[in-house]
Structure 1
């Protein structure tokens, strides 16, 4: 959705404009928030952060500004900042755990660091390719494979029938596998 489309829809009905914006960018925002918080936050915290992102988008969007183009930059920036703030909040509230010398050596080994970096890069690529599937396919894949939601549950989220969810899911997985093969990543 572009800024122009959103402003035009806001003139007609702000509630409908907000709903359409949420539907258009939910998967994108979820991917950003989930990627940042998955190692430290509970599912409920991630979903709450997602809602907070859209609340901020609705509160701070200035329809009077003459901005053009896609809204993904604006929304993505808010999502990254919200997720980073929650991450920092969770981490600063975490307890400090004392470890012995042997554990410290194990944690600091280069092999572990290299493996973790490779795993993070692979996750980043996979999530990027999922986002590249577009809506509603990216939302379907995230909800089905990351959260284990059923076709009926996802159908309510993206306004499709459960049968359509199953068909789109199969096609999206096939397309995702092809995209990942080009990156030498297999599922």
Structure 2
């Protein structure tokens, strides 16, 4: 019986040291998967929380895992990716106004309303501009990384960011009297 099968059998039998072994064996791999997926988009604490959630899910769902459909390693990687995507989607819901220069005299409406208007404005930029804008300002990706991910020249990424800021300012000036 392969090591993965033995480990899964111990997990199914509720052996406490089995989850400790799974954590020791799979944490480095899952950390690499998450780093490759997220880069610097989430703080270390969020990554640790995702890893904890993955192992809790493993403990709770050990009975339903079928190694004939794939490896335990692949299962854990898929669970980690799903948790990471959920975390990123939650993070996107909290768009910050810090990156957009507002005139000093501009009254800022309630935070949720303003964030909603800003998010809609960013999305109205269209592809690939909105993706570039989100990757740079919300996820903190470097221009080189964005260029590689979107297939756009780095100088074009810079230009799109600059023009995007101007477009956003114009959109927000007319949006519900935000500015």
Structure with greater helix percent: 1
Tell me the TM-score normalised to structure 2 length. Answer: 0.50
Tell me the TM-score normalised to structure 1 length. Answer: 0.48
